[in-house]
C-alpha cells in the first residue's frame, strides 16, 4: 500500500497508524499526529480504493452504505500490510495505535471488529459502525477514543451510541467525546484526543 513511515523520537512510544478520510492521502493526518503524539512513530497509509479519483480504504455502494465484502477484504489487506511494515521498518507490531478520520476511522473500527491483536488502542474521529452481525474479538482493556458530532449528518448520534455499546461489550475502554458540530474535525476534539492519548500512552 502507498504509505510513509517515520520513526518515533522515543523508541518505547507507540507507532501511530494514520488513516485518512475519503479523498485524502497519507499526508493528511501528519499534523494531527504531531499534535496528538509528537514523540510517536508514524505509519501513514493511503487507501487502495478509488471512488471517482478519491482514495478510500474500502468501497461503498452509497454514502453510508458499505460494500461489506470489500470492507472485509480491505481490512485483512491493511492488517497484513501493518504486519509487513513492522518487519520492514523494525517497529513493535504490538504497540500500534490507530488514528483515523471518517472513512479512515471506519477501517480502523473494522480492524478492531475483526482482529483481537490489530491495535493497542485507537483514536476514531467520526466513525460509524463498520459492520453489523459479527462477533467482536475480546478487546479487554483496549482504549478507544471516539470523537463524534451531535449534528453529524454522516454518523447519527444513535449510530455513535451503537458503536460505543458494541466496543464496550467486547471489553474495550471507550471514551466518547461529543462536539456540537457536524462531521468535521474540530480543535476541541483534537484537544480532547490529545489529553486522552496522554492519559493512556503518555510517559
Ligand atoms: C465512509 O464511507 O466511510 C463514510 O461514509 C465516511 C466517509 O464519507 O468517508
DSSP-derived letter for residue 12 is T
Please give the distance, rounded to the nearest whole angstrom, from the Cα atom of residue 97 to the centre of ligand 1.
Answer: 21
How far does residue 62's CA lie from ligand 1's centre (Å)? 9
pTM, 2 dp: 0.97
- Which residues have any ligand 1 atom within 6 Å of their CB? 21-22, 60, 63-64, 102-103, 106, 128, 154
Q: What is the rounded (10 degree) CA torsion for 158, 109, 99, 151?
A: -20
The preferred substitution site among 102, 148, 152, 155 for testing ligand 1, maximizing ligand atoms within 8 Å of CB, is: 102
Tell me how far apart the 2 most distant CA atoms of the chain are, in Å: 43
Q: What is the CATH number of domain 3-201?
A: 3.40.50.1820
Q: Helices in the chain by DSSP H: which ranges?
A: 30-36, 68-89, 103-114, 157-169, 187-201
The minimum-distance atom of ligand 1 relative to the CA of 56 is 9
Rounded Cα gap, residues 64 and 73, in angstroms: 18
| Nearest-CA residue for atom 1 of ligand 1 | 103
Give the residue numbers marked as catalytic.
102, 152, 183
The residue written with cell numbers 460494500 in the block is: 67
Residue-by-residue pLDDT tens, the chain, 203 positions: 999 999 999 889 999 999 999 999 999 999 999 999 999 999 999 999 999 999 999 999 999 999 999 999 999 999 999 999 999 999 999 999 999 999 999 999 999 999 999 999 999 999 999 999 999 999 999 999 999 999 999 999 999 999 999 999 999 999 999 999 999 999 999 999 999 999 999 86
Measured in angstroms, how far is the CA atom of residue 9 from the centroid of ligand 1?
32
Alpha-carbon gap, residue 44 to 128, rounded angstroms = 21
Ligand 1 centre from 22 Cα, in Å?
6
Atom of ligand 1 nearest to the CA of 66: 2
Partnered with residue 96 across adjacent β-strands are 15
Residue 203 has a pLDDT of 66
β partners of residue 173: 143
Map out the domains of the chain as residue ranges: 3-201
> Chain-centre distance of CA 91, in angstroms?
19
Residue nearest to atom 9 of ligand 1 (CA): 103
What pLDDT does 11 receive? 86
Distance from chain centroid for Cα 69: 19
Amino acid at each position: 500500500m502507498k504509505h510513509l513511515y517515520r520513526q518515533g523520537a522515543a523508541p518505547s512510544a507507540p507507532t501511530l497508524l494514520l488513516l485518512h478520510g475519503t479523498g485524502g492521502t497519507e499526508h493528511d493526518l501528519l499534523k494531527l499526529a504531531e499534535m496528538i503524539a509528537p514523540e510517536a512513530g508514524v505509519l501513514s497509509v493511503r487507501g487502495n480504493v478509488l471512488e471517482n479519483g478519491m482514495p478510500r480504504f474500502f468501497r461503498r455502494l452509497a454514502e453510508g452504505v458499505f460494500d461489506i465484502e470489500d470492507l472485509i477484504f480491505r481490512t485483512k489487506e491493511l492488517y497484513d500490510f501493518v504486519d509487513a511494515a513492522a518487519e520492514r521498518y523494525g517497529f513493535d507490531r504490538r504497540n500500534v495505535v490507530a488514528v483515523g478520520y471518517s472513512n479512515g476511522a471506519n477501517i480502523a473500527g473494522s480492524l478492531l471488529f475483526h482482529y483481537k491483536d490489530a491495535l493497542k488502542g485507537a483514536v476514531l474521529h467520526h466513525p460509524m459502525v463498520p459492520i453489523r452481525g459479527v462477533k467482536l474479538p475480546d478487546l479487554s482493556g483496549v482504549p478507544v477514543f471516539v470523537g463524534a458530532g451531535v449534528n453529524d449528518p454522516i454518523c447519527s448520534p444513535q449510530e455513535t451510541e451503537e458503536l460505543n455499546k458494541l466496543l464496550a461489550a467486547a471489553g474495550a475502554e471507550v471514551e466518547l467525546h461529543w462536539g456540537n458540530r457536524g462531521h468535521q474535525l474540530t480543535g476541541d476534539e483534537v484537544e480532547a484526543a490529545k489529553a486522552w492519548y496522554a492519559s493512556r500512552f503518555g510517559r
